[in-house]
């Protein structure tokens, strides 16, 4: 009987927490290879995870993906970073607990071509240095 009570209390404790950046029972953030320099970034949280946190997770995973592949920048080519957080683009779909974007990673040449097309380009190192201390354990 004590085990059942402890088990129920531990489940209640899990559901009272918002999602962390690392994948766990409460959510996840992933980068999936699509094609050369193109990745799908997905973040899924529970109902207690604020939309701003999910946006941070997507941007952090995008920055990590670029840096892990030896690139310096990325641009969002499909999807959204919504609600005007720090001036990020607005379009597409977002809920408080789920966000998906497709990114292209690159270097200085990406910056020049994206600016010509009117796209927003993000400095991967700058974003990583800003967001990692807030969300990585």
Sheet harboring 121-123: ordered strands across? 28-35, 38-44, 98-106, 73-79, 121-123
Query: Locate tokens 């402890």: which residue?
Result: 6
122 vs 64: CA distance, rounded Å: 12
Closest CA to 29 of 92, 100, 88: 100
Residue 112 phi, psi (nearest 5): -65, -45
- Report pLDDT digits (tens) over 24-73: 666 889 999 999 999 999 988 877 778 888 889 999 999 999 999 999 99
What residue numbers bound the domain in which 11 lies? 2-135
Strands 73-79 and 38-44: unpaired
Q: How many structural domains are present in the chain?
A: 1
The model carries a pTM of: 0.74
């Amino acid at each position: 009987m004590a085990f059942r009570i402890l088990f129920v209390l531990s489940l209640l404790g899990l559901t009272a927490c918002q999602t962390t950046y690392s994948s766990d029972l409460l959510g996840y953030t992933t980068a999936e290879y699509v094609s050369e320099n193109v990745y799908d970034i997905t973040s899924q949280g529970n109902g207690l995870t604020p939309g701003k946190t999910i946006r941070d997770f997507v941007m952090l995973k995008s920055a990590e993906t670029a840096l892990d592949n030896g690139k310096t920048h990325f641009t969002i080519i499909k999807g959204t970073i919504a609600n005007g957080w720090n001036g990020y683009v607005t379009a597409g779909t977002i809920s408080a607990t789920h966000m998906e974007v497709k990114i292209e990673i690159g270097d200085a040449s990406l910056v020049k071509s994206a600016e010509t097309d009117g796209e927003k380009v993000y400095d991967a190192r700058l974003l990583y240095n800003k967001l990692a201390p807030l969300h990585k354990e």
